[in-house]
Structure 1
């Protein structure tokens, strides 16, 4: 025990049992007035001495950190621990960051969390398997690589060359940042979704799923981005809750009364109209039916201000009275099924009649209880069309403009802009416009261009997730999810996904290995054709889809096994695979064992990589690709706001470490402060960062570097695998 007497108080600094004990000393500390007096007593107390400075600032701090990383061999730690003998191996599978720009604090949170867990396993004597990688394909990279150029002015190979160069440069910058943060990995052996081996593995997964009937081609509505001119999957959308639409109440005049109502309404034929409400007036030219709920109550009402007769849902009368600004007198009431067999006049297309049809998707939450149905522009509408064999005519082109099928008055107009104006004018001219109003509601946007999308039918490749859901849910029961509350979100997103559109109309991606017959358009896709293309990709990369002659991709022996004709009868497909399918097959290209022990990603991946990895693995192996999931929150400002360049609250991790132009406003904190910020944070909620947070982390390092990390259910539970 090291004893000291301060005044009349004795206290001790305990040493571990069995350790060397210093000779007992007794000293009396007197009040001193000068530094010289203090120096007389400094050497009378036996305390540890170190040449390591307590505090370093600015460039000295950065130089010391780099010196430590270099002299301590940080870059050799991963290789060293892989070469040592160990009874157990721990695998953390790295969800690939996107190679479309520089790193941000979200990257720092994610990578440092993974590093904390990996280092903990090394301390336990476990051998760690951790292969970092990058998601390298996709539209955002293509758009950034092209800049002001238009993809239509370049060949696919020119587009791909520019996109690859951009991705490689982004990867180099991100890798350097991750190394500076002290992330333990073999940075010379990473995985990339544009490597030939990765692409070939991906095609084999695709073929396996196709052979099981899980991949199919169909013509139906999909989310379509006019700004990007490609189909989108649900995971590529973000919903704007403040979207403003021009909604309308419009009438469809009855031209044939429903048989069950004809006896009581016979003298009202031509005077009765069905009232509908829609937030997308531009879809009315594509209308093919008006749907009702069979078991609901409906009424014939008369407007007091105009004597107009309208068919509406009974329970919507009160709301409609307020919306239309007039009393609605209930003339008669009947059940919805009595409407079956009725026929209406289309309000904007002369001579066209549309039926009244039953549908279970009709709700009474908003509108009139009668739903305008355009099969080309909605999945529920499309389901009605499939059931009743209605046409699914597409009047909208890839740029979101009306095409020739819409007629000369609409052709060429953007449906979400001028086209909407024109359709509303057409309704007004036909006497079918009852009311127009602005409606604020949630609407899907392209997460890349931040512009509205629309439903538009096209021929695409899909994965039938409905047939995978039960297996996926069963597999998830065996997966540990931290925090447990994230499991419900993952399940809900899985439930809401009836299909997965995996084809994209771009150049920068893995080509879908399909050949089409030049005359019939029939797709040639089987285990022989895909196996051969995968072999070519493994050797030469996916550029070979455009570089190699068709005979090299579809040789005579493959045609013979496929019972196909001559190679001249076929042409290559032009679509590429969705990047979520790209990254969702990483388990097959990277993992040595059937599962990863853990995957650690942000909560946005509950509808993204966690899900795409699960679906592809369950489809091929009937099991999840991971044993545990750790789901962390987003990084937000100290006010709790989302990081946004427009708000000016974005924090660059490089500036956190190296400082900004003004050292007072942006001091150099070094990598340790960035890592400590992560280690101290409650990562299961949104994580705040800013000057106050970073100063606190820096002070904690100075004052409490030897204390045990707080066990607040944060990183302590993460690395220990305990909650």
Structure 2
């Protein structure tokens, strides 16, 4: 028969083949279709239907950590919300009622800073603007971005109660936050105290640790001599000696009030016998430093040769008194030497200068000895008017003036014949230093009156919080150590900020005594007023409204500091959870790893402090998002990936697929190449769904067979479905989804597309419509479609919906369906092991087929006849299946070799052997004898034996005649 005649004959039978038909297109066109799907969901009221469907179920609550309402979403926002949405949807499809209330953080410096930027651009002065007017502008700014971000989150496919969202600036929220402050006030844990806090001179406010990032800077370093003026040692070994310190903050020298030594450190008094020409060390100066630091000290200060006069233990320094090196310049006080356990010999001199207003260790040690804490630096970072010699100077510009004053002091002390006092050496160091993450400017430690919640003592907040954490589940478990150590080490919680936009710390202080007013009735009046009017009432109402008729407002100071935004968001459980079906404690909090020092911790401390329990049962932590090279994203590097750009170009489902295909326990990477790879993975998943839909064309429930009537191959696929169903269940129970969706993708590509679909295409396309084999295959395809659509729905929210409605119509939604639950009978482990072995041998066979194709023996696998030699032991496994069907060849014979060793499987017949022994030749691929069937393309000797359909095999003859097609050869 000529090629033309063959083609014409094939065309006559084309309509008798059950080729796939579906309206589900090959191309996703997600940027176009996804917004259409969102609009259709809105029109159909899908959110209301979801809420109604879960009304009588057990509730699962994931409490939303609020993002700041101050700009478009970045990729970290997308990661966070997609993670939450996947978990929420999975919980819902597992049978729980899910109430997800998204929220926003609307107060504090992030928003106030943006509004101030607009002021600066327009030349307006914030300080000249009435506070209520300024707060109104902040509120409007936040409201605008809440609406924008809400739309952007919904575009990502995140489902939630968007009309019922919470915001910290809602009146009810503000009232609840003040009520929580009142709880700490009334239980005695809130107090006002003077201590160093992290302070931003640019933003003029205290900062929380979570608002700090670290950058490298170059600082001036100095060695400074403090003359010892009172010597407690019996031998007067310190007479005429100067104690030497080293510091990277010359600007703190005016605030020095003590020196710290290590009681267990050995010190020496050395004499500088010879110094280099450019050294500032006076010849024959006697200097006190740690013995371990002598060599480095001499090298840094230009001491060429020296002589150790004395060696003495650290505790011998107890009671020693120094003079400030700037004595005579207004610094006329004594500088005592105090024992400090924190002093080391890692750097410096083994002696540490103490500026109690500018360091935590400094503050605690000097307070222990009753030393004053001077307030020398103003909120803008300049020295106060009363600071001798340096008034008005900014601390970050003080290195040169301080060094000049210390150098001048050295010359004056020497000229008077006294001991060395002042600058001994100057250098630089490049080191990591804290910066504000908003202004990107360095911060300082500054002692100011602030409001604190005590961690230790009376309420034992620290101890209770640590004890509570023992009952919390961490994902990953290693994150437990991070949060625990942070709670163990944190100082008292500074909750006050010196800004305008936020919830005020609404308390009163008695002017005469400085005592905080702790009156429940006053607190109740304040909370009720804020619930009705919002926090602005604190600024506009007469204080008498709150104090009541029995107190004179003139006797009280009204506090206008605002509360730390971390306290606000940490209080959000009080105005979101516990009512209207939302669990308290929440089942889950989920945020990035930075929130161990942020929202996780503030929520824990707030809840434990007021309710005695953690607000969460489990914490899930994800890493940060980096670019493809592992670098932090920044506009200057040009490596920022914005969620909106991805949805506009590729679609939200691609971004969601990237999330679940990443190891979220670690830092994640994203970039154009990575997104391109996700697009390829998506294409394969989509093609799997498309083939399923096409092969199920016309399927009805009446066609389905029971499990017992299924062939082994179908039972094996259901076994694999049961394995994946178990993985999905574990993900739901543990909130650990890493690796699950890559496994699901592997199932689609390896088990289905490259194996099962290939093997069963012939039966589905060419068998009779009601053949047992075809019905069995379509029974399993129906299960696969339902399983994949529901399992993919939490991630590919738009594509799964499209694949579901392509079959069941738009009246149905996959998001109202439960996960397909595998039946227990499907989990046949023995059968699974058997088919694992069969597939291992199949890989050997397909390798030989490919070799034969490349060698020109065959054109396609259907032109081949397979001869498979097997040992007698292997025949029981390998000889019981149709290898023509399994290898997708036209003909296959099993050849049993007596007394031969195992050729393909090990002695336990559990693993594939590495290769096939050459002695037995392995699988043989021959050209199949016979003619090619014009309908199924198998090459068989029987083709041509039927007179009416001489171009068909007997199977195809029967199908064609049953269809009554009337086609002729």
TM-score interval, smaller chain:
0.7 to 0.9
* Shift of residue 237, structure 1, vs aligned partner: 1.4
Distance 2:641 2:450 in 1: 40
**Structure 2: runs of 5 or more not aligned:** 275-282, 411-421, 690-719, 737-969
The yes-or-no answer on 1:682 pairing with 2:654 is no
Contact 2:455/2:492, CA 8 A, preserved across alignment: yes
Give the 3 Å change call, closer, same or farther, for CA 186–74 of structure 1 in structure 2: farther
Distance 1:33 1:163 in 2: 80
Greater Rg over alpha carbons, structure: 2
The 5 A counterparts of 1:440-455 are: 440-455=430-445
Distance 1:303 1:627 in 2: 64
**Structure 1: runs of 5 or more not aligned:** 1-27, 659-667
Pick the aligned partner of 2:536 from 531, 540, 543: 543
Two-structure CA RMSD over aligned residues (Å): 2.5
The 5 A counterparts of 1:575-614 are: 575-592=561-578, 593-614=583-604
Pick the aligned partner of 1:63 from 15, 20, 32: 32
Distance 2:505 2:352 in 1: 38
Give the 3 Å change call, closer, same or farther, for CA 175–329 of structure 1 in structure 2: same
Distance 2:635 2:256 in 1: 42
Contact 1:680/1:715, CA 8 A, preserved across alignment: no
Give the 3 Å change call, closer, same or farther, for CA 383–701 of structure 1 in structure 2: same
Distance 1:647 1:716 in 2: 42
The 5 A counterparts of 1:323-472 are: 323-325=300-302, 326-350=304-328, 351-407=332-388, 409-417=389-397, 419-431=398-410, 432-466=422-456, 467-472=460-465
Q: What secondary structure, in the 3-state scheme, does the structure 2 residue paired with 1:430 have?
A: helix
Deviation track 1:478-530 (CA, whole Å, cap 9, x = no partner) reads: 11100111111111221221211101111100011112345655433432222
Pick the aligned partner of 2:644 from 654, 658, 678: 654
Partner in structure 2 of residue 721 of structure 1: 734
Deviation track 1:11-42 (CA, whole Å, cap 9, x = no partner) reads: xxxxxxxxxxxxxxxxx9x9999999997665
Contact 1:599/1:628, CA 8 A, preserved across alignment: yes
Contact 2:199/2:445, CA 8 A, preserved across alignment: yes
Give the 3 Å change call, closer, same or farther, for CA 177–369 of structure 1 in structure 2: same
Distance 2:400 2:154 in 1: 55
Contact 1:683/1:715, CA 8 A, preserved across alignment: no
The yes-or-no answer on 1:217 pairing with 2:217 is no
Distance 2:125 2:658 in 1: 43
* Shift of residue 274, structure 1, vs aligned partner: 0.7
Give the 3 Å change call, closer, same or farther, for CA 41–390 of structure 1 in structure 2: farther
Deviation track 1:26-64 (CA, whole Å, cap 9, x = no partner) reads: xx9x9999999997665443243111211044xxx4332
Contact 1:681/1:715, CA 8 A, preserved across alignment: no
Matched positions, count? 667
* Shift of residue 717, structure 1, vs aligned partner: 6.2
Distance 2:466 2:354 in 1: 33
Distance 2:11 2:545 in 1: 85
Distance 1:38 1:150 in 2: 84
The 5 A counterparts of 1:166-245 are: 166-240=141-215, 242-245=216-219
* Shift of residue 693, structure 1, vs aligned partner: 1.4
Give the 3 Å change call, closer, same or farther, for CA 475–519 of structure 1 in structure 2: closer
Deviation track 1:124-177 (CA, whole Å, cap 9, x = no partner) reads: 121002111000001120111132144312121122111111101111110000
Give the 3 Å change call, closer, same or farther, for CA 677–259 of structure 1 in structure 2: same
Give the 3 Å change call, closer, same or farther, for CA 703–310 of structure 1 in structure 2: same
Contact 2:544/2:552, CA 8 A, preserved across alignment: no
Contact 1:246/1:436, CA 8 A, preserved across alignment: yes
Q: What secondary structure, in the 3-state scheme, does the structure 1 residue paired with 2:357 have?
A: helix
* Shift of residue 349, structure 1, vs aligned partner: 2.8
Contact 2:186/2:518, CA 8 A, preserved across alignment: no
Give the 3 Å change call, closer, same or farther, for CA 31–99 of structure 1 in structure 2: farther
Pick the aligned partner of 1:50 from 10, 22, 25: 22
Distance 1:481 1:90 in 2: 17
Structure possessing the higher relative contact order (Cα contacts under 8 Å, 6 or more residues apart): 1
Partner in structure 1 of residue 232 of structure 2: 258
TM-score by length of 2: 0.66
The yes-or-no answer on 1:479 pairing with 2:453 is no
Partner in structure 2 of residue 631 of structure 1: 621
Give the 3 Å change call, closer, same or farther, for CA 290–121 of structure 1 in structure 2: same
